[in-house]
Chain A
């Protein structure tokens, strides 16, 4: 059974710092990995999707890497801002019959202090 772990569970940093969020998964047979952002009381917003054949994906100040063989992904946030405060979730896409399922980690709650 695929298991996804995110460390740390919570992180607090001063504004302007570069930071790395970690995600690990137990089964390397994935189709893709997706990073989401969730604000308190809100839904999930997709940030980045990395295909299984890719090593990294970038969007603005965000960079996500994927090492399928070691079962790891990182989300790098450059020059953090208070508006980046949220919970960040990673999810891996696995096959399930004719569909693809997402298996989620428990998330990292990020607080960026002004």
Chain B
């Protein structure tokens, strides 16, 4: 079972460069998320997509854009990378919550991004 797959696993960018982080899930989940993890700060939500065709800002959206390409894929784009965006980025997915149904979140292995 692949689950949630992220590419690339590692990336070094120069300040001002752009790049797109890719995420795909094979669990037929409706909801997908992008988080960043910084030392001592836990994970913070950047953007999420409740279902195909919708995207919304999370806690720290500045400097990022997202695209929900289809039900499987959710990409995160850095238009002009800054050193403050050096972090580990995680993609996650879950079933669309309906009523009182509780949904477990599944995470990818992360992308370690360094901006110099």
Contact = CB atoms under 8 A, between A and B. Distances in A.
Contacts of A49: 102, 104
A107 B41 CA distance: 9
Interface string B57-84: 0100000000000000000000000000
B56 A46 contact: no
Given A31-B97, A46-B105, A96-B56, A101 B45 contact: yes
Interface string B23-55: 000000001010100001111110011110010
Contacts, number: 72
Interface residues of A, number: 29
Interface residues of B, number: 31
Contacts of B35: 104
A105 B107 contact: no
Given A32-B102, A98-B54, A104-B42, A43 B108 contact: yes
B97 A100 contact: yes
A59 B31 CA distance: 26
A114 interface: no
Contact of A97 (B50, B90, B107, B108): B50
A97 B56 contact: yes
